[in-house]
Amino acid sequence: MIPFLFSMATVCVLWTGLSFFFGTGLVPSPWETAACLARMATTTAMWENTAITVTRGMVAILVTLLLALVLGIIAGLSRQIMSFMSPLIAVLQATPPILWITLLMVWAGAGNAVPILVVTASVFPPLFLNVAQSVAALDRRLLMTAKIYQVKKHRILKDIILPGIYPYVLAGLTYALASGWKVTAVAEFLGSSRGIGAQIYWSYRMLEMPELFSWALVLIGLGMGLEFSLIRSLRRKAQGGTVHA
């Protein structure tokens, strides 16, 4: 707790100094922002927009994880399929989220589709490569033995492939969770009418600085809560599984 409290105290001191230097019109003080956040917390709008962002992010992560597992396992088991998919993955990795947001705003309009698809396109390449490379690194002797004894494919998947790639999938999932909610907020900022990112956009447009800082705190708090409650736990499990393997 001491490092955490020290960090929070440092942020508050710097924040207060910036507020004093630039004025509360540009940088509201921590106390003014806290008061605004407390007022927002009494409204349903804050919780609805937060729930929308969380739901979009979780749906996008689950869809991406499912796609990465299915396609990554297939590609990891076949060098030919992996070679065919590699250029597509390279294109996805090289495409910035802002391009996906722009195109999807034209094709799908504002709504749930833009944040979910942008997160999927952004997070899928590293998660897919993580799965594919971990499958390719499995002991081929186990797979050959299972094939010789005509073990059913679902048993091979359940008893050999999934346990073998489990720590690597967890490692990739920590990255997806850590970056997914940030991409969700950016997509909402530019391509949605609801959600935390959209509220930050409208606060900026209306120059409602206390609200802007309050929504920023909500977004940062969401990321920190995810980091301390889930991501670190998954990271420890992944590291433990990798060492054990």
- Domain range 48-244, CATH architecture: Orthogonal Bundle (1.10)
- The pTM for the full model equals 0.83
pLDDT bracket for residue 239 (50, 70, 90): low
Q: Where are the domains of the chain?
A: 48-244
Please, what is the average pLDDT of the chain? 86
Alpha helices in 78-152 (DSSP H): 79-94, 97-108, 113-136, 140-148
Helices (H), the chain: 2-22, 30-41, 44-77, 79-94, 97-108, 113-136, 140-148, 153-156, 162-191, 196-205, 209-226, 232-244
Q: For residue 240, what pLDDT is reported? A: 65
Percent of the chain at pLDDT exceeding 90 = 33
Residue showing tokens 């590291």: 239
With tokens 């709504």, the residue in question is 111
SS3 178: helix
| pLDDT for the residue 196 | 94
Mean pLDDT of all residues in 209-220? 93
